Amino acid sequence: MSLLTVGSVAFDALETPFGKTDKIIGGAATYITLAASYFTKQNNLVAVVGGDFPKEMIGLLEEHGVSTEGLEVKQDGKTFFWSGKYHADMNTRDTLETQLNVMADFDPVIPKSYQGTEFLMLGNTVPATQKLVIERMAQRPKLIMLDTMNLWMNIALEDLHAVLKLVDVLTINDEEARQLSGEYSLRKAAVKIMGMGPKTLIIKKGEHGALLFQEDRIFFAPALPLEEVFDPTGAGDSFAGGFIGYLASTDDISFENMKRAIIYGSAMASFCVEKFGTERLVNLTEAEIKDRVQQFVNLSSFEIR
Amino acid sequence: MSLLTVGSVAFDALETPFGKTDKIIGGAATYITLAASYFTKQNNLVAVVGGDFPKEMIGLLEEHGVSTEGLEVKQDGKTFFWSGKYHADMNTRDTLETQLNVMADFDPVIPKSYQGTEFLMLGNTVPATQKLVIERMAQRPKLIMLDTMNLWMNIALEDLHAVLKLVDVLTINDEEARQLSGEYSLRKAAVKIMGMGPKTLIIKKGEHGALLFQEDRIFFAPALPLEEVFDPTGAGDSFAGGFIGYLASTDDISFENMKRAIIYGSAMASFCVEKFGTERLVNLTEAEIKDRVQQFVNLSSFEIR
């Protein structure tokens, strides 16, 4: 089945305890489509960049089977830019600079050829824009997944609630789940958030794994303990891309298959953090992914007698 | 097989966001032996209390099959007392007061009837005292497990290293693993710590589960997402007690069985935190434990196709 991802394609400048980058390619939709490309072959992208965005990178996305028909290039504009610095624990970071640039008035146009896409992934961006995308789909996708962040809870909560009513799967991190629900217990938080619209909730806990909630079912996927976390940027988006890419490729949205999808998503996130930016995500092999997923099986399987 | 636990039996006074207690019964060895009592029937205790320690509590331990022959009562002394206050996140706490009292010169005497015990659990206490216990065992137990804390890394590191050389399993939390090894990555930390003596390392991550390391094998056990964590005191000790109690009851120290033991330990910890102090641990049924372990199976099982 086909996947449509809407979100940012951007420049990032990063500083981690392991080093510093100049402007490198980032953005939620970049990580999502790259991660999903290892699963689904119909990988559609709606995003906007400026004239400063390198053509080679667009070519690289296309090489990964990503359709860039929906990637608008505003020749006289500048690409969205974010720079951040990670703390020693790699779980927290400070934003040093955000330049919205062409994202400031992102008006997502869905190409005709994308209409009918079965799986829709709304990367983290302005909630009103995410809602607009859903409204612009001629028929409702089979599954709509949304990522968001604390910023929108602070400055656009009403819009966020409006779009939450329309989606099937929400992914947020643990602190955001607590903020959105006003509950400290993630189990209580999940019940409240699922009451806001999404029937399925994924709470990402970074190096502590991820929780999948649906009705009264809970599944926990560990994160792989890595020798080194080099750069956490894009981990959550790679996770989302692996998750929805796997769902789209199998066309199975049962809870059992979502459990598998979370493991694939976690595997993609574990690759992502091993190098700066998208470096590790752009040249994975099927054998590497299979081997990594097997590591998750080994890590978490046990048998009660 | 039989288990010997050496450690503190104490009074605690606790403050959590959910309430406050007066002096209640606590201490590492109390939680360990109570948790282990659901698995092993030969449950030996070496500890010291003062004349102020309630006889009913000693009776309660005995009702749970704990042998108190090795529980020294110093009639003219006072029982070890600790009071602490948990922060809102329940993962961190401040010590308000510590009165060592009779623990200040704890001289663990191993009753003759305890000699030959196959499984030895050294609860968190002065490393030199832990080493003394090992030296006082006429024959080396089949498995020696040790719990410790950051305090001893700060004030008795040399003694800690000396006893670490003698044990099979070490349990510490993630921050302590980082402190002891000087490595941030838990995977790297584990390799260094296993080089200090213990062939098996358990890193406890509280609400984020636990990692089991042995040679190049890793197993991760999630913590159960609970509606409410009422009082985290004793969770780590209940975990250790369930773990070693299960190992002793099955007399199987293979890695596969340790994985099961970690799940049983995690189940005991999940019960412990549901009420203040030992309240929940003292009246569990086999059916409750079986049901809780099944929840762990449901939480973490998946199948890759």
Interchain pair B256, A303: CB under 8 A: yes
- Mutate one of A300, A301, A305 to test the B interface: name it (highest B CB count within 10 A): A300
pLDDT score of B160: 98
CB < 8 Å to B263, chain A: 302, 304
pLDDT score of B193: 98
Chain B residue closest in CA terms to A290: B304
CA distance A210 to chain B (A): 10
- Of B170, B255, B172, the closest CA to residue B217 belongs to B255
CB < 8 Å to A219, chain B: 299-300, 302
**One digit per residue, pLDDT tens: chain B, 305 residues?**
999 999 999 999 999 888 899 999 999 999 999 999 999 999 999 999 999 999 999 999 999 999 999 999 999 999 999 999 998 777 788 999 999 999 999 999 999 999 999 999 999 999 999 999 999 999 999 999 999 999 999 999 999 999 999 999 999 999 999 999 999 899 999 999 999 999 999 999 999 999 999 999 999 999 999 988 888 999 999 999 999 999 999 999 999 999 999 999 999 999 999 999 999 999 999 999 999 999 999 999 999 98
Query: What's B270's DSSP letter?
Result: H
* CB contact B286 to A (< 8 Å): no
Interchain pair A219, B302: CB under 8 A: yes
Quick check: A238 and A205 in contact, CB under 8 A? no
Mean pLDDT, range A49-75, rounded to an integer: 97
Contacts of B56 (CB under 8 A, 6+ apart): none
* Confidence at A91, pLDDT banded by 50, 70, 90: confident
pLDDT score of A129: 97
Q: Out of B227, B300, B304, name the one closest to residue A185 (CB).
A: B227
Q: Out of B185, B222, B303, name the one closest to residue A228 (CB).
A: B185
Contacts of A101 (CB under 8 A, 6+ apart): A50, A77, A78, A79, A80, A81
* CB contact B172 to A (< 8 Å): no
Interchain pair A225, B228: CB under 8 A: no
CA distance B26 to chain A (A): 25
Chain A residue closest in CA terms to B186: A225
CB < 8 Å to A188, chain B: 227-228
Chain B residue closest in CA terms to A213: B299
Q: Out of B88, B186, B220, name the one closest to residue A299 (CB).
A: B220
Interchain pair B299, A229: CB under 8 A: no
Reduced to 3 states (helix: H, G, I; strand: E, B; else coil), residue B200 is strand
Q: Out of A218, A263, A294, name the one closest to residue B299 (CB).
A: A218
pLDDT score of A258: 98
* CB contact B91 to A (< 8 Å): no
pLDDT in tens, A105-123: 999 999 999 999 999 999 9
Distance CA A222, CA A208 (A): 6
Q: What is the ipTM of this complex?
A: 0.90
pLDDT in tens, A158-169: 999 999 999 999
- DSSP string of chain A, one letter each residue: --EEEES--EEEEEEETTEE-SSEEE-HHHHHHHHHTTT-S-EEEEEEEETTS-HHHHHHHHHTTEEEEEEEEETTS---EEEEEE-TTSS-EEEEEEE-GGGGG------GGGTT-SEEEE-SS-HHHHHHHHHT-SS--SEEEEE--HHHHHH-HHHHHHHHTT-SEEEEEHHHHHHHHS-SSHHHHHHHHHTTS-SEEEEE-GGG-EEEEETTEEEEEPPP--S-----TTHHHHHHHHHHHHHHHHT--SHHHHHHHHHHHHHHHHHHTTSSTTTTGGG--HHHHHHHHHHHHHHH-----
Sheet of strand A3-6, all strands in order from the earlier edge strand to the far edge: A66-74, A43-50, A3-6, A119-122, A143-147, A169-173, A200-204, A210-214, A217-221
* CB contact A186 to B (< 8 Å): yes
C-alpha distances (whole Å) from A211 to each of A86, A220, B301 are: 24, 5, 13
pLDDT score of A215: 97
Chain A residue closest in CA terms to B261: A304
Q: Strands A143-147 and A169-173: what pairing? A: parallel
Six token digits for residue B251: 């007399």
Domains observed in chain B? 3-9+26-80+100-300 (3.40.1190.20)
CB < 8 Å to B256, chain A: 302-303
Interchain pair A263, B302: CB under 8 A: yes
Distance CA B240, CA B204 (A): 10
Chain A residue closest in CA terms to B301: A301
Interchain pair A260, B188: CB under 8 A: no
Interchain pair B184, A88: CB under 8 A: yes
- For chain B, percent helix, then strand, then coil, each to nearest 5? 40, 25, 35
Interface of A with B in 212-271 (CB under 8 A): 217-222, 225-229, 256, 259-260, 262-263
Interchain pair B301, A301: CB under 8 A: yes
Six token digits for residue B232: 């985290």
Mean pLDDT, range A219-243, rounded to an integer: 93
pLDDT score of B240: 98
Interchain pair B299, A220: CB under 8 A: yes
pLDDT score of A18: 83
* Confidence at A88, pLDDT banded by 50, 70, 90: confident
Distance CA A235, CA A16 (A): 14
Asked if pLDDT for residue A92 goes beyond 90, the answer is no
CB < 8 Å to B218, chain A: 225, 298-299
Q: Out of B205, B263, B299, name the one closest to residue A208 (CB).
A: B205
Interchain pair A186, B225: CB under 8 A: yes
* CB contact A210 to B (< 8 Å): no
Mean pLDDT, range A274-300, rounded to an integer: 96
Asked if pLDDT for residue A19 goes beyond 90, the answer is no
Quick check: A121 and A240 in contact, CB under 8 A? yes
Six token digits for residue B94: 């401040």
Burial of A239 (0-12, 13-18, 19+ CB in 10 A): buried
Quick check: B150 and B128 in contact, CB under 8 A? no
Reduced to 3 states (helix: H, G, I; strand: E, B; else coil), residue B263 is helix
